Amino acid sequence: MAKNAFFYRSDNGDRIYTADSFSDWLKKFFTTGVFTGDLQVKALKGMQVQVGEGYCNIGGKVKIYDVKENLDIEVANSSFPRIDTVVIERNDLERDFFLKVVKGDYAENNPTPKAPLRTDNIYQIVLAEILVGGGATEIKQENITDKRANKDVCGIVTSTVEEMDFTQFQAQFDDYYKNFKELSVKSFNDWSEEVKEEQRTFTQEERRKWNAWLGESKNQYDVWIDQAEDDWVKWADDTRNDFDVWFDSVKDTLQGDVAQNLLLMVKENEKRIDYLEHAVFDSLTANPFKITFENLDGITFKGIWNEAKRRVEV
């Protein structure tokens, strides 16, 4: 652990800083790579490429390239292709940065570039890959693959604090969510059981009410049907008795000359109807049915004879 904080004035040599002190401090704030838009590799004429101006940072050590620099690409093989890489090398033994072309290996098909060299004293970042085809005499822009944005071999310089470390917060949230989920599931299960129990209770109660109503209705129906049967028997008996009484009253009439007897009954009824009409429409105060034409002795009656109706009218 460092004994001193960065950076204070040295009093009598009590604050001694080295170049590594500064790079160690700087690399905590910036990632390794090139700054946006810097150090682009472009094709020139023939077997040359050009690296543009720019600024790079490798582990807290930096270098500014304030002029463009041309690099030669080794002549191609007549048959086999290869992939070269344009790199910036931080060399702590030389205490400097160097632009280099690293020659790739030949391959009959699908050549691959060499990995950047990274040791205790040397650290390379790759700006571009260059496909050198078999028998090629010129490097074209289409043969150059820009690798500056690739974090594995180069990268764009950014702040090291790319994002907040939410590991602890995540652990706390996961624990909270786990407890919340368990509680929610338990609450739901408890509620579900309550609903099921209420449903069972409701169903049982409704079934009980239905059975009670059905039993009561059946009892009422039994009482009603018994009463209806009794009423029917009574009505049938009364009707039979009424018929017997009526029949007894007319059976004499139906003996002998039935037609003659019925005719006499009709005529007698017509007389009675005439008497009733006279009582209603002629305001008779006496009982006309007590006076008959068979016995008029001792009766003095004044009125006008109605020839049409053959009666005396007062």
Distinct helix (H) and strand (E) counts, the chain:
3, 12
Ramachandran region, residue 193 (left: φ > 0; alpha: ψ -120 to 50; beta: rest): alpha
Closest CA to 281 of 248, 244, 260, 309: 309
Q: What are the CB-based long-range contacts (under 8 Å, 24+) for 21-29?
A: 22/60, 23/59, 23/60, 23/61, 24/60, 25/60, 26/57, 26/60, 26/62, 27/57, 27/59, 27/60, 27/160, 28/60, 28/160, 29/159, 29/160
127: burial class by Cβ within 10 Å (0-12, 13-18, 19+)?
A: buried
Whether pLDDT at 39 is above 50: yes
- Residue 70, pLDDT > 90, answer yes
Tell me, yes or no, whether 14 lies in a domain. Answer: no
Domain that holds residue 219: 165-251
Q: Which of 74-83, 151-160, 229-238, 242-251 is predicted most confidently?
A: 74-83
Higher pLDDT, 275 or 182: 182
Q: What is the mean pLDDT of residues 275-281?
A: 67
Judge whether residue 1 has pLDDT over 50.
no
Domain count, the chain: 3
Q: Which candidate, 105, 43, 113, 96, places its Cα nearest to that of 71?
A: 43
Q: Give the residue-averaged pLDDT of 188-205.
A: 83
Please tell me whether residues 24 and 117 are part of one structural domain: yes
Q: Is residue 3 part of a domain?
A: no
Q: Is residue 235 domain-shared with residue 257, that is, in the same domain?
A: no
Q: Give which of 14, 69, 16 is closest to 40, Cα–Cα.
A: 69
**CA distance linking residue 27 with residue 91, whole number of Å:** 17
- Final residue of a structural domain among 146, 175, 191: 146
The highest-confidence range among 171-185, 204-218, 253-267, by mean pLDDT, is 204-218
Query: For residue 261, is it within any domain?
Result: yes
Q: Residue 296's pLDDT is what?
A: 59
Q: 225 with 271, same domain?
A: no
- pLDDT exceeds cutoff 70 at 177: yes
**What are residue 63's phi and psi, to 5 degrees?**
-150, 140
Rounded-to-integer distance, Cα 243 and Cα 32, Å: 128
- 225 plus 289 within the same structural domain: no
Q: Is residue 60 scored above 50 in pLDDT?
A: yes
131 pLDDT higher than 60 = yes
How many residues in total does the chain contain?
314
Question: How much of the chain, in percent, has pLDDT values that exceed 70?
Answer: 81
pLDDT at position 253, please? 61
Check the CA dihedral 134-140-142-145 and report its sign.
Answer: positive
Q: Is 80 exposed, middle or buried (0-12, 13-18, 19+ CB in 10 A)?
A: middle
Task: Examine the fold and report which residue of 117, 146, 175 is the final residue of a domain before the chain moves on.
Answer: 146
pLDDT at position 213 is 86
Same domain, 47 and 98: yes
Of 15-29, 128-142, 294-308, which has the strongest mean pLDDT?
128-142
23 and 142 assigned to the same domain: yes
Confidence band, pLDDT 50/70/90 cuts, at residue 122: very high
Do 139 and 194 belong to one domain? no
User: What CATH number has the domain bearing residue 101?
Assistant: 2.60.40.2980
State yes or no: pLDDT of 80 exceeds 70.
yes
